[in-house]
Amino acid sequence: MLPRLAELRRLQSCVLRHVRSFAVFPGASPLVEEAEEVNGGRGEDITDHLTDLTTPASWYPAARMMRRKVVAHMGPTNSGKTHAALQALKAAETGVYCGPLRLLAWEISEKLNADDVSCSLITGQERRVMEGAKHAACTVEMASVSRQVDVAVVDEIQMVADPSRGHSFTRAILGIPARTLHVCGDPAALPLLRQLVQDTGDTLEVLEYERLLPLKAEKAALGTLEGVRKGDCLVAFSRREVHTTKRALESWGALKCCVVYGALPAESRTQQATLFNKPRTGFNVMSASDAVGMGLNLNIRRIVFTSLEKFDGASYRPLTAAEVKQIAGRAGRFGSSHSSGRVTCMHQEDMPYLHTALACANPELQQACLFPSYQQLAIFAEQHNHLDLSDALELFANRATLSQHFFFSNYEPMHKLALMLRHLALSLRDHYIFSISPADPEDPPVAAALLSFASCYASRGHVSVIEAQRWQLKPARTESELEQLEAAYRILDLYIWLSFRMEAAFTGRAEAEKQRKLVTALIEEALPRLAINSKALTARQRRQERMELLDVSRAIEDHFNGSQWDRRIQQKLLAPVYQKPLPTVPIPKLLRRSRKHLRDWELE
């Protein structure tokens, strides 16, 4: 047999082996499966060009077999874009909605089911498959690129330029095989969208929208909290400030304050939004982080920025104009009880920047984010003497060639997790799944949980939610106990996410979902009751807390660098939260007790 042919045969079997290793995830609805698409259509020269990412449109054979009609709904926030796209989705025989947040996917699946369009919900952590449903609402990462539908909606497409998650939007826009693909987003994304549609050979129709209700920037800043009125949403950029603002507002007794922030479970954010939106609940103002910027339909009269700076993981930076507008645009939603939206700041010195940001158009997006599929990485690793995932990722990123309209995704978080796990006996596929999981390497308890899940899995091939993590589920009396509950939620969420991808090993999903529900109830029970006041911590306690966090992050850092855990620090990290025995109180009783708290201030 010709050597070339032998080489090809070997490669072909290698591709098939990797494709098969990524079976469609059990429980996914027929419309949705995740990232196991075949990197098809490139046949014999796959090794030479494996890191050639210059033609991503050719990665999606199912979409290329049809001439799709792309409809772009372009406009500012609150201009009816999603609403219009949903009308087409509801009228279609089959369809899928892809959004950036679980909250949005939830909201849309609720909306469609309420309108008698049976719609499944598929996110990384939820599978609510409705019997016979021909519609699904999913997070964009879960979009299928091999199942054909009549209509697909990809919402918030300006996120195609997001350095970490943008590649999922690029994959959805290039690869969903929909007869009609509706995309909604900011007009700044239009020139780049035109380029993507030109690459795919589809047709493009552009619909432009105006804000449905005016958004007015006030002239003067609020100055102090005394100026806060019902319907206001105060926006801060740290969990601590959100709670401190809540505490300060409630200290007068006139206002009851809901909270929304990223670390809060999605269910609790919805519950807080409902408390805020419904009349006569008594909760008439909101203290929120930028998590309020997308996904929740809120009855906000005015947005008050307590700051126009945020910490982006490395340093403090001013909000971009797009971020200011995304958040300000939440005021005065069409259909809410307000005839317009208003926006201001707490401090007068921020007002000029606010006015400038609101007045300027968002800079046009130049490039879409791109990341290789699992198959490409797996074959590349195999072709290079079976490199482990972290090395393969680095080498691939260094060698990748892209066209001028794309940039390589920020793979740092995934690389850190891959490094942390590289000493474990994991197959490439399992190492990849653990490394793309929604564990934030900068989130010590969750990173520690991932490490223990993966260690359990590598040594025993099985991970029960009770075995791998032990935490105390009890009503939170202090802010740090509330933070522990929020961490427990994220760890349960991570376990459930893994259980959908490694079902035979993570067998405690039902138990984890029950505990996640309990933790959510305990968090929601604590929020209105907890007197959180960062000043309550003495300077010594605050210093101690900061030292602990420093110790912990140093331990995690050591781990990333492959050195041994510092046993003392590991005990410090794991002992306070995870290694105490579960409460003797049986869970249902604890849940009833929490429910009793819930009833005390439940909605009328």
Q: Is residue 200 at the binding interface for ligand ATP, with CB under 6 A as the rule? A: no
Tokens 């080498």 correspond to: 395
Task: Return d(Cα 282, Cα 297) in angstroms, integer.
Answer: 19
Q: Is residue 287 at the binding interface for Mg ion, with CB under 5 A as the rule? A: no
Part in contact with ligand ATP (CB under 6 A); list of ranges 2-10, 79-87, 276-284, 383-391: 79-87
Part in contact with ligand ATP (CB under 6 A); list of ranges 80-88, 95-103, 359-367, 587-595: 80-88
Would you state the torsion angle of the CA atoms of residues 87, 195, 31, 168, taken in this order, to the nearest 10 degrees?
Answer: -110
Among 79, 94, 362, 570, binds ligand ATP (CB under 6 A): 79
Q: Which of residues 83-102 bind ligand ATP (CB under 6 A)?
A: 83
Stretch 148-187: interaction string toward ligand ATP, x if CB under 6 A: ------------------------------------x---
Among 335, 363, 586, 588, binds ligand ATP (CB under 6 A): 335
Among 29, 78, 79, 82, binds Mg ion (CB under 5 A): 82
218 touches 343 (CB < 8 A): yes
Q: Is residue 469 at the binding interface for Mg ion, with CB under 5 A as the rule? A: no
Among 118, 297, 452, 553, binds ligand ATP (CB under 6 A): 297
Of the candidates 133, 12, 151, 31, the residue with the CA atom closest to the CA atom of residue 85:
151
Tokens 């950036």 correspond to: 100
> In sequence order, which residues have a C-beta less than 8 Å from that of residue 296 and are 6 or more positions away?
103, 107, 260, 269, 270, 273, 330
Q: Is the C-alpha dihedral spanning 129, 127, 87, 152 positive or negative?
A: negative
> In sequence order, which residues have a C-beta less than 8 Å from that of residue 495 and are 6 or more positions away?
449, 453, 463, 465, 468, 469, 506, 508, 509, 512
What is the DSSP secondary structure assignment for residue 238, as one 8-state letter? S
Cβ of residue 184: shortest distance to Mg ion, in angstroms? 5
Q: Is residue 109 at the binding interface for ligand ATP, with CB under 6 A as the rule? A: no
Number of residues counted as binding Mg ion (CB under 5 A): 1
Distances (CA, A) of 577 to 265, 444, 491: 18, 12, 12
Stretch 253-292: interaction string toward ligand ATP, x if CB under 6 A: ----------------------------------------
Q: Is residue 77 at the binding interface for ligand ATP, with CB under 6 A as the rule? A: yes
Give the tokens for residue 370.
Answer: 């791109």
Q: Is residue 81 at the binding interface for ligand ATP, with CB under 6 A as the rule? A: yes
Among 56, 75, 124, 175, binds ligand ATP (CB under 6 A): 75
Q: Is residue 333 at the binding interface for ligand ATP, with CB under 6 A as the rule? A: yes
Task: Return d(Cα 498, Cα 462) in angstroms, integer.
Answer: 12
In terms of Cβ atoms closer than 10 Å to its own Cβ (0-12, 13-18, 19+), residue 604 is exposed
Would you state the torsion angle of the CA atoms of residues 479, 480, 485, 491, taken in this order, to the nearest 10 degrees?
Answer: 140
Stretch 38-77: interaction string toward Mg ion, x if CB under 5 A: ----------------------------------------
> In sequence order, which residues have a C-beta less than 8 Å from that of residue 170 and are 6 or more positions away?
56, 160, 196, 368, 369, 370, 406
Q: Is residue 245 at the binding interface for ligand ATP, with CB under 6 A as the rule? A: no
Q: Is residue 326 at the binding interface for Mg ion, with CB under 5 A as the rule? A: no
Cβ of residue 362: shortest distance to ligand ATP, in angstroms? 12
To 5 degrees, how large is the angle CA 135–CA 140–CA 142?
70
For ligand ATP, the closer CB: 128 or 338 = 338
Task: Return d(Cα 359, Cα 81) in angstroms, integer.
Answer: 21
Query: Binding partner of residue 376 among ligand ATP, Mg ion, none, CB under 5 to 8 Å per kind?
Result: none
For ligand ATP, the closer CB: 149 or 292 = 292
Positions touching ligand ATP (CB under 6 A) are: 75, 77-83, 184, 212, 297, 329, 333-335
Positions touching Mg ion (CB under 5 A) are: 82
